[in-house]
């Protein structure tokens, strides 16, 4: 799972740089959470779990109208979406370097806050709001 995350993190095939960023981020998380008994890798796994969406909406054209149909997310897509959101919102954060931004986004996701967690909540709200169109599933 870590390798898959790092593959999403890297630009232009720079895997060693991506691994350095990831491990630096985990060490920052470890330093900031010294008082708790949780290991940095467990914090990362819990953060990923917290930003993993269960449902999403997909556009479906029926007749002349387009409906947002709630669909359950496939297990492999769940992991991909959570990793992509964590990386995307880490890049958008303000901070010194990417490892610092990633560490703060991981800690925010661990505490069930931050932009990646908000994205998951928004996806769930959208699916709940469009629950009436669930019979258009394909």
Question: pLDDT, tens digit, for every residue of 11-66?
Answer: 888 999 999 999 999 999 999 988 888 899 999 999 999 999 999 999 988 888 99
Contact 3, 23 (CB under 8 A): no
pTM: 0.87
Q: How many CA atoms lie within 13 A of 131 on its CB side?
A: 4
Distance CA 69, CA 56 (A): 8
C-alpha 94 chain-centroid distance: 18
Which domains are delineated in the chain?
2-136 (1.10.455.10)
Is residue 76 within 8 A of residue 84, CB to CB? The reply is no
Contact 104, 95 (CB under 8 A): yes
Rounded Cα distance, 14 and 93, in Å: 21
Half-sphere exposure of 88 (CA within 13 A, CB side): 12
Spell out the residues 6+ positions from residue 46 whose beta carbon is closer than 8 angstroms to its own. 38, 110
pLDDT in tens, 51-110: 999 999 999 888 889 988 899 999 999 999 999 999 999 999 988 899 999 999 999 999
Beta strands in the chain (DSSP E): 55-62, 65-72
């Amino acid at each position: 799972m870590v390798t898959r995350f790092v593959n999403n993190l890297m630009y232009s095939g720079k895997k060693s740089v991506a691994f350095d960023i990831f491990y630096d981020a985990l060490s920052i998380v470890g330093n900031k959470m010294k008082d708790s008994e949780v290991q940095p890798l467990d914090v990362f796994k819990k953060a990923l779990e917290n930003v993993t969406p269960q449902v999403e909406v997909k556009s479906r054209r029926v007749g002349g109208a387009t409906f947002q149909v709630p669909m359950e997310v496939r297990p492999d897509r769940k992991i991909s979406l959570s990793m992509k959101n964590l990386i995307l919102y880490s890049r958008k954060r303000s901070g010194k370097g990417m490892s610092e931004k990633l560490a703060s986004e991981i800690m925010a996701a661990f505490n069930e806050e931050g932009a990646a967690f908000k994205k998951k909540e928004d996806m769930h709200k959208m699916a709940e709001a469009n629950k009436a169109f669930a019979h258009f599933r394909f």
